[in-house]
Structures are given as structure tokens and as C-alpha cells.
Structure 1
Amino acid sequence: MNKRLPLGLGLILLVFPCVLLVAFTHYPAARALMNSFWNNASSRRPSKFVGVENYQTLLEDDRLMQVMLNSTLYALGTIPLAIGLAIGMALLVNAKLPGTSLMRLSFFMPTMLPMIAVANIWLFFYAPGIGLASQILGLFGLPPINFLGSTETSLLSMMFVAVWKEAGLFMIFYLAALQAVPTTLKDAARLEGAGPVRVFFDVVMPLLRPTTIFVAVNALINAFRLVDHVIVMTRGGPNNSSALLLYYIYEVTFSQRDFAYGATLTVLMVCLLGILAAVQYWVLNRKAHYQ
């Protein structure tokens, strides 16, 4: 016997999520777009419509160019590494080796830790002279390195933390996808003489493309919305070498109190993420195999 939800309850279940979506996603985005065409108000002067003046400021902002370069390098460095490491860990825990449950827990543990806690842990790890990283370098007779205090290593150090934290989460998605791959396809490939490497790249990887699309888009969003680690570990320094886009938006809006330019930067980030996610989805989706 089929049971249907009452019409009123169905409307509540439909309307309530839509209200939350509009209130916390669509309205803030639309409000930021509107604010980007006005200047800042003060106690003596109301806000004034300035058209595209704030967007002209974007083109003249040298610091924004540095931040965009940092964000691009950060995304290019963390996304492929996190995805590759996640696939490797998923293959390892899916191989039914002894201690698989412990490995799965240890791989996923960094994801369960709060981002602020992770940043403080790695802040101590990178501490020059007394941190674990310096102690390891000392074992090989190498001098200590100020990883977070050097323009050459600060961004790389942040990237390492991001890969360590996110790979475990992506591993869960790939593990679920690997367990959904039909064994008959792999058995058929083996009967044709394909080795393990050939089976993985010709049979398994095409079936993992939908998962890769989902993971890659989320990794891209995570790369551009990182702010917690930057605030705790480097505050964008030294010399803006580790400043990322969302941290720059946070600093302009809440430290400098430039709400109009902060809204303009927010519009830039939303548009940029939308374009990159669409391109990423289109490129990866062309050869995706869905079941």
C-alpha cells in the first residue's frame, strides 16, 4: 500500500530548504553584487552609487595580482596531489590487507579534526628550531628552516597541510566508487591478459570519472575558500607570499572596513569559481562513464 505525504508537510519540506538556500546563498551573493556598485558609507556621508569604479580598482590592485597568483599556485599544487593521494589510499584500503580498518581510520583522522586545531598542530610542527620538522632536518645534518617565515616556503608549507587534511575525505568517495565497480569487468579484462596496471587505467579509472568530477570541483572550491589556516599560521605573510583570495577579502572587509571593495572581491571570487567549476566539469564530463 502506497503512503503519500500530506500536501502541507510536502510543501514544508520543499519550502524550508529553499528559504534557507535563498537566505544564506542567493541573497548574500545578490547583495554583494549590489554593494559592489556603491562606495562606503560613513557617519557623515551616505553611500553613493559609483558604477564600475570598484571594478576598475581591481585592475589596478597590485596586491590582488599577487593574491591571485598565490591562489592559482595553491590550487594547481593541492588539487592534483590530494586527488592522486586519495586514489592511492582508497586502493590500499580496498585491497583487503591486514589492518585495513586501522589504515582507514588513520587516513580519515585529519579530516575529522577542526581546521583551527589542524593549523595549530602544524604551527608547532613548523616552529623553527624546536618543531618536529626542524628536528627531522637535524637528524640528517641540515640546518633548521623557518617554513612559515620565508617567502620561498610559506605557501608550500600551507599546501602540504591542505593535502594532508583533504586527501582522507576524498579517499572516502573514491573508496565507495571502487567498491561499486563490477568485478565482472575486471575479471573479463584479466581473462584477456590485462595486468593489474592495465586493468586499473582501462577499466577502473574510466568508471571513477564521475567521482573525480565531484572531488575536483569540491577541491577547487576548498582551495579558493581557505582562510582559517592562513589566519592562524601566517596571516598572509611574509610579504603576501601566502595570502589567498578569501583571506584578502576577509582582511579588506573586516580589517580595513572597506565593505564596498570587499563586496567587489567577493563577486570576483564567485564568478571565478563558477567559471572554473563549469570548465572543469565540461572537460572531465566528456569522457565520464555513468552506470
Structure 2
Amino acid sequence: MTSHRRMQLYGALLLLPAAVLLATFAYLPTITTVINSLFLPGFRGAPAEFVGLENYQLLFDDPTFWKVARNNLIYAIGTIPTSIALALGMALFVNGKLRGRGFVRMAYFTPTILPMIAAANIWMFFYAPQIGLFNKLLGALGFSGVNWLGDPSMALGSVIVMSVWKEAGFFMIFYLAALQGIAPELKEASDLEGTSRWSFFWRVTFPLLMPTTLFVLINALINAVRVVDHLFILTKGGPNNATNLLLYYVYENAFSFFDRTTAATITVVILLVLAVVATVKFTILDRRTHYQ
């Protein structure tokens, strides 16, 4: 065996454990889910019946699915740009000359390290109708309390606020690392030219942050879809499906209603939508991405 062949074999063996894990826990479940979405389960030992795209037709005729999809779209619009803008603003703030900068960074990042269940329970106390922190503050200001999680018009917005609080600190770390990787000579040159801070940010800093922004956007999109645990604690999808989101709807169908066919069909739709949106993001933003 030549040295080139030995290096190829050595590289393949190094990749083999990761490839096995990826195939076992990503590719195989995806293929199985797609297959399950094309069949109706058999009852009392009968074999499953192939129905093609009939399950998708039934799903698209379900008004609850469209309500859940609309909720998820609103949730994504509310969380993705807000959390990214806050993350960028916090990163710019703590990257400058600031007294107690390490403490401020830790304070911004603390919500990220909290388990989602713990964070949801904290916000459950904030949102409690009678004894909650927010209603106590409103009462002190002379306003009546709000049923934050029980009012259909307020519940989804309340979940969005908690999610932004939880995610912004995580995205801030990536922006902070990217800011510290920008050459200081660029700022020195702009100061010599008399460039304003605003112009330097839009013409130099922000374009150099586009690779990080692209990465954060994809992660924010995934986070906007994989919402289960804090819904389970805060609202369980209520009231009247006002906070029910796609992945929680999958959980309900699979483990509460035991309708795994519908759950598989919704999962395939989610994967297709994520793939299309991610492709569009990479196609559009790649033209505006500048690598150092």
C-alpha cells in the first residue's frame, strides 16, 4: 500500500466515528420520518398502507396546522431580528472601554447558561397574574394587572420576550469574538481620515461581521423552530393554541395524541422549509459577505 493510500485510509478511519453518529442520529431518522409520512399505520397487526401524499393533503386541510404555522412565523419574526440586534448592540457595548466590563459581559451571558426549564420557571413567576413581578410593578404605577400567559392576544408576545432574553446573550458571544478579530489598524486609519463612528460601523465593521451574522441567522432560525421545553412549562401551547408552535405541535401529535404519522408529516414539512430558507439566506447573504 502506497503512502498516499495509507493517508486516505487513516483519514477515513478518523472520520468514521463521526460519520456513524451522523448517519445514526441524523440521516437515518430523517429517511425514516420521510417514509413514515407516506404511510398510514396498520391497526391490530395489519401492515401499514402506502397513501403517497395523502397525509400532506390532510395536513394542509387542517386549520390548526395553519394556525400553528402562523404562530411560528410570528415567533420567528419577533425573535430573530430582535435577538440579533440586541446581541450586536451588547457586543459593541462590552467591546469598548468600560469599567467593570467583565462583570457586564457575565451579566449579559448569564441567561444563556441557565437551563431552559429553569429560565421558564423564572419567567413563570414574572408573568403570574396575582403575585408576578410584572403585575406588581404595574400595580405600583397605578395600572391594572395583565394575564400575560392566559390572554390569547398577549401570550405569544410574552413567550417571544422570554426567548429574546434567553438567546441574545448567546449570540453576543459570537459577535464579541468577531469584533475582537477585526484589525485595530482599520479603526486607526479611519480616525486619521476623520470618519465618524456611524460611518465606520456601516462601511467597515458591519460588512466584516457578515460571516458571523450569517452563522447567527441560521442558528436563530433553527432556534425559532425547535421550541418545546419552555412552552411545556409556560403555556402548553395554550390558550386555544395561541402559543402552539410547530415542534410542540409535533410533540403533541406524537406523544399526546399518538398520531405519529401526522407528526412525521409535520416534521418533513419543517425540514423542507428550513432547507429552503437556509438556501435563500446563503445565496443572498453570501454576496454581501466579506472574509478577512
Q: Return the TM-score normalized by structure 1.
A: 0.95
3-state SS, counterpart of residue 239 of structure 1: coil
SS of residue in 2 equivalent to 1:153:
helix
The CA deviation at 1:182 is 1.1
CA offset digits 1:148-200 (Å, max 9, x no partner): 00111100000001100000010000000000111111222222221111111
Q: CA deviation at 1:60?
A: 0.2
Report the secondary structure of 1:43's partner residue. coil
SS in 1 for 2:248: helix
Does residue 218 of structure 2 align to residue 217 of structure 1? yes
How many matched pairs?
Answer: 287
Match of 2:54 in 1: 53
- For residues 41 and 136 of structure 2, what CA distance do their matches in structure 1 show? 50
Q: Where do 1:86-125 residues align within 5 Å?
A: 86-125=87-126
1:21: which partner in 2? 22
Q: 1:40 Cα deviation (Å)? A: 2.0
Superposed counterparts of 1:240-279, under 5 Å: 240-279=241-280
CA distance in 1, matches of 2:41, 2:9: 45
Matching residue of 1:150: 151
- Contact between 1:217 and 1:281, CA under 8 Å: does it hold in 2? no
Which amino acid letter does the alignment assign opposite residue 66 of structure 1?
A: K
In 2, Cα distance between the equivalents of 1:270 and 1:104?
A: 35
Contact map agreement 1:190 1:199 (CA 8 A) in 2: no
Contact map agreement 1:40 1:258 (CA 8 A) in 2: no
Cα distance between partner residues in 2 of 1:155 and 1:254? 23
Do the aligned residues in 2 keep the contact of 1:236 with 1:244 (CA within 8 Å)?
yes
Counterpart secondary structure, 2:96: coil
Partner of 1:235: 236
Shift of 1:8: 7.0
Cα 1:80–1:40, aligned 2, differ >3 Å: closer, same or farther? same
Q: Residues of 1 paired with 2:98 and 2:288: CA distance?
A: 32
Aligned residues: CA RMSD: 1.4
Residue equivalent to 1:162 = 163
Deviation at 1:6, TM superposition (A): 8.1
Instruction: Tell me how far 1:247 sits from its aligned partner.
Output: 0.4
Higher mean alpha-carbon deviation, 189-198 vs 249-258, is at 189-198
Distance in 2, Cα, partners of 1:102 & 1:9:
46
> SS state of the match for residue 50, structure 2?
coil
Aligned partners of 1:9, 1:102: CA distance in 2, in Å? 46
Instruction: State the shift of 1:280 in Å.
Output: 1.5
AA of the residue aligned to 1:139: A
d(CA) in 1 for partners of 2:14 and 2:106? 35
Q: Give the drift of 1:55.
A: 0.8
CA distance in 2, matches of 1:283, 1:131: 44
**184-193 vs 226-235, which deviates more?**
184-193
AA in 1 matched with 2:81? P
Alpha-carbon distance in structure 2 between the residues aligned to 1:37 and 1:227: 25
DSSP-derived class of the 2:44 partner: coil
Q: Which amino acid aligns with 2:62?
A: D
2:77: which partner in 1?
A: 76
AA aligned to 1:135 is K
| TM-score, structure 2 normalization | 0.95
Query: Which amino acid in the other structure matches residue 134 of structure 1?
Result: N
Code of the residue aligned with 2:34 in structure 1: it is L
Q: Which residue number corresponds to residue 179 of structure 1?
A: 180
Which ranges in structure 2 are unaligned for 5 or more consecutive residues?
1-5
Deviations 1:71-120 (A, max 9, x none): 00100110011000001110111113111100111111100011111111
Name the structure 1 match of 2:135: 134
| Equivalent position amino acid for 1:122 in 2 | W
Q: Look up the SS of the partner of 2:49 in the other structure.
A: coil
SS of aligned partner of 1:169: helix
The equivalent residue for 1:62 is 63
Q: Which residue in the other structure is 1:193 paired with?
A: 194
